[in-house]
Amino acid sequence: MMSVNRGPAIWLPPPFVYVAAYLLAWLLDRRIEFLIVGRGAGVTQEAIGAAALVAGLVLMGYSIVVFANARTAIAPIRPARQLVMWGPYGVSRNPMYVGLTLAYVGLAIVNNRAWPLVLLPLALLAMTAIIAREERYLHGTFGDAYDAYRQRVRRWI
Protein backbone atom coordinates (compact mmCIF):
# COMPACT_ATOMS: atom_id res chain seq x y z
CA MET A 1 0.00 0.00 0.00
CA MET A 2 1.32 3.44 -0.89
CA SER A 3 1.73 5.90 1.90
CA VAL A 4 0.71 9.54 1.66
CA ASN A 5 3.89 10.40 3.57
CA ARG A 6 6.22 8.70 1.08
CA GLY A 7 4.74 9.82 -2.19
CA PRO A 8 3.72 7.49 -5.00
CA ALA A 9 6.81 5.24 -4.56
CA ILE A 10 8.07 5.55 -8.12
CA TRP A 11 11.31 3.57 -8.23
CA LEU A 12 12.47 4.82 -11.63
CA PRO A 13 12.56 8.59 -12.23
CA PRO A 14 10.55 9.26 -15.42
CA PRO A 15 13.41 10.99 -17.30
CA PHE A 16 15.39 7.75 -16.94
CA VAL A 17 12.72 5.92 -18.95
CA TYR A 18 13.44 8.18 -21.91
CA VAL A 19 17.20 8.06 -21.37
CA ALA A 20 17.10 4.25 -21.22
CA ALA A 21 15.02 4.05 -24.41
CA TYR A 22 17.36 6.44 -26.22
CA LEU A 23 20.42 4.55 -24.97
CA LEU A 24 18.95 1.26 -26.20
CA ALA A 25 18.19 2.95 -29.54
CA TRP A 26 21.78 4.17 -29.73
CA LEU A 27 23.08 0.63 -29.07
CA LEU A 28 20.77 -0.78 -31.74
CA ASP A 29 21.86 1.92 -34.17
CA ARG A 30 25.51 1.02 -33.62
CA ARG A 31 24.64 -2.53 -34.61
CA ILE A 32 22.17 -1.78 -37.42
CA GLU A 33 22.08 1.83 -38.56
CA PHE A 34 18.48 2.95 -39.06
CA LEU A 35 18.17 6.48 -40.41
CA ILE A 36 14.99 8.49 -40.84
CA VAL A 37 16.31 9.86 -44.13
CA GLY A 38 19.09 7.90 -45.81
CA ARG A 39 20.80 10.89 -47.38
CA GLY A 40 20.84 12.76 -44.07
CA ALA A 41 18.62 15.26 -42.36
CA GLY A 42 17.80 18.33 -44.38
CA VAL A 43 17.16 21.82 -43.10
CA THR A 44 13.41 21.25 -42.78
CA GLN A 45 13.86 18.03 -40.83
CA GLU A 46 16.41 19.65 -38.54
CA ALA A 47 14.10 22.65 -38.00
CA ILE A 48 11.16 20.39 -37.12
CA GLY A 49 13.31 18.34 -34.76
CA ALA A 50 14.80 21.42 -33.13
CA ALA A 51 11.35 22.95 -32.70
CA ALA A 52 10.04 19.78 -31.02
CA LEU A 53 13.14 19.55 -28.83
CA VAL A 54 12.91 23.19 -27.72
CA ALA A 55 9.13 23.03 -27.24
CA GLY A 56 9.53 19.93 -25.07
CA LEU A 57 12.25 21.52 -22.95
CA VAL A 58 10.25 24.74 -22.54
CA LEU A 59 7.12 22.79 -21.55
CA MET A 60 9.10 20.76 -19.02
CA GLY A 61 10.72 23.89 -17.61
CA TYR A 62 7.42 25.76 -17.35
CA SER A 63 5.79 22.76 -15.67
CA ILE A 64 8.61 22.51 -13.15
CA VAL A 65 8.35 26.24 -12.37
CA VAL A 66 4.60 25.86 -11.76
CA PHE A 67 5.26 22.98 -9.34
CA ALA A 68 8.03 24.94 -7.61
CA ASN A 69 5.76 27.97 -7.22
CA ALA A 70 3.07 25.69 -5.75
CA ARG A 71 5.71 24.40 -3.31
CA THR A 72 4.93 20.81 -4.09
CA ALA A 73 7.25 17.93 -4.95
CA ILE A 74 8.60 17.87 -8.48
CA ALA A 75 10.11 14.38 -8.23
CA PRO A 76 7.48 11.62 -7.96
CA ILE A 77 9.42 9.94 -5.16
CA ARG A 78 8.28 12.68 -2.74
CA PRO A 79 4.82 13.37 -1.38
CA ALA A 80 2.64 15.97 -3.09
CA ARG A 81 1.69 18.93 -0.93
CA GLN A 82 -1.11 20.14 -3.16
CA LEU A 83 -2.93 19.34 -6.35
CA VAL A 84 -1.66 21.57 -9.17
CA MET A 85 -4.40 22.25 -11.73
CA TRP A 86 -3.35 25.53 -13.37
CA GLY A 87 -0.90 26.56 -16.07
CA PRO A 88 0.03 23.61 -18.26
CA TYR A 89 -1.74 21.31 -15.79
CA GLY A 90 -5.03 22.82 -16.94
CA VAL A 91 -4.44 21.23 -20.36
CA SER A 92 -2.60 18.01 -19.44
CA ARG A 93 -2.29 16.12 -16.16
CA ASN A 94 1.28 15.27 -17.18
CA PRO A 95 2.83 18.20 -19.04
CA MET A 96 6.34 17.30 -17.82
CA TYR A 97 5.98 13.91 -19.48
CA VAL A 98 4.51 15.45 -22.63
CA GLY A 99 7.56 17.73 -22.68
CA LEU A 100 9.92 14.79 -22.22
CA THR A 101 8.23 12.98 -25.09
CA LEU A 102 8.45 16.01 -27.38
CA ALA A 103 12.13 16.51 -26.52
CA TYR A 104 12.85 12.80 -27.12
CA VAL A 105 11.15 12.86 -30.53
CA GLY A 106 12.84 16.14 -31.44
CA LEU A 107 16.26 14.76 -30.56
CA ALA A 108 15.65 11.67 -32.72
CA ILE A 109 14.57 13.84 -35.66
CA VAL A 110 17.51 16.25 -35.32
CA ASN A 111 19.91 13.30 -35.15
CA ASN A 112 18.14 11.58 -38.07
CA ARG A 113 17.81 8.35 -36.08
CA ALA A 114 14.78 6.09 -36.44
CA TRP A 115 15.48 3.62 -33.62
CA PRO A 116 14.40 6.06 -30.90
CA LEU A 117 11.07 6.49 -32.69
CA VAL A 118 10.67 2.71 -33.00
CA LEU A 119 11.31 2.33 -29.25
CA LEU A 120 9.09 5.26 -28.23
CA PRO A 121 6.00 3.03 -27.71
CA LEU A 122 7.97 1.01 -25.14
CA ALA A 123 8.93 4.19 -23.30
CA LEU A 124 5.30 5.32 -23.39
CA LEU A 125 4.15 1.95 -22.01
CA ALA A 126 6.58 2.33 -19.12
CA MET A 127 5.39 5.89 -18.58
CA THR A 128 1.77 4.73 -18.56
CA ALA A 129 2.61 2.33 -15.73
CA ILE A 130 4.35 5.12 -13.81
CA ILE A 131 1.43 7.48 -14.37
CA ALA A 132 -1.05 4.83 -13.19
CA ARG A 133 0.88 4.54 -9.92
CA GLU A 134 0.98 8.31 -9.54
CA GLU A 135 -2.75 8.53 -10.22
CA ARG A 136 -3.54 5.93 -7.55
CA TYR A 137 -1.43 7.93 -5.11
CA LEU A 138 -3.08 11.24 -6.05
CA HIS A 139 -6.55 9.71 -5.72
CA GLY A 140 -5.61 8.40 -2.27
CA THR A 141 -4.17 11.75 -1.25
CA PHE A 142 -6.65 14.23 -2.77
CA GLY A 143 -9.76 12.05 -3.22
CA ASP A 144 -12.73 13.74 -4.88
CA ALA A 145 -10.74 16.84 -5.87
CA TYR A 146 -8.36 14.66 -7.91
CA ASP A 147 -11.22 12.66 -9.40
CA ALA A 148 -12.92 15.87 -10.57
CA TYR A 149 -9.63 17.14 -12.02
CA ARG A 150 -9.09 13.80 -13.77
CA GLN A 151 -12.52 14.04 -15.35
CA ARG A 152 -11.80 17.58 -16.63
CA VAL A 153 -8.21 17.24 -17.87
CA ARG A 154 -6.75 14.57 -20.14
CA ARG A 155 -3.83 12.39 -19.08
CA TRP A 156 -1.53 13.42 -21.93
CA ILE A 157 -3.06 16.07 -24.22
Where are the chain's structural domains?
14-152
The three-state secondary structure class of 154 is: strand
Q: Nearest 5°: phi and psi at 139?
A: -60, -45
Mean pLDDT score across all residues of the chain:
93
Angle, CA of 60, 132 and 26, to the nearest 5°: 55
Regarding pTM above 0.75, the answer is: yes
In this structure, the chain runs to a length of 157
* Residue 65 DSSP label: H
Which pLDDT does position 157 carry in this prediction?
Answer: 87
Which pLDDT does position 69 carry in this prediction?
Answer: 96
Average pLDDT across each block of 10 residues of the chain; the chain has 157 residues. List them in order. 61 92 98 94 96 98 97 88 96 98 98 98 96 94 97 95
Residue 98 contacts residue 157 (beta carbons within 8 Å): yes
Which pLDDT does position 75 carry in this prediction?
Answer: 85
Residue 35 β-bridge partners: 113
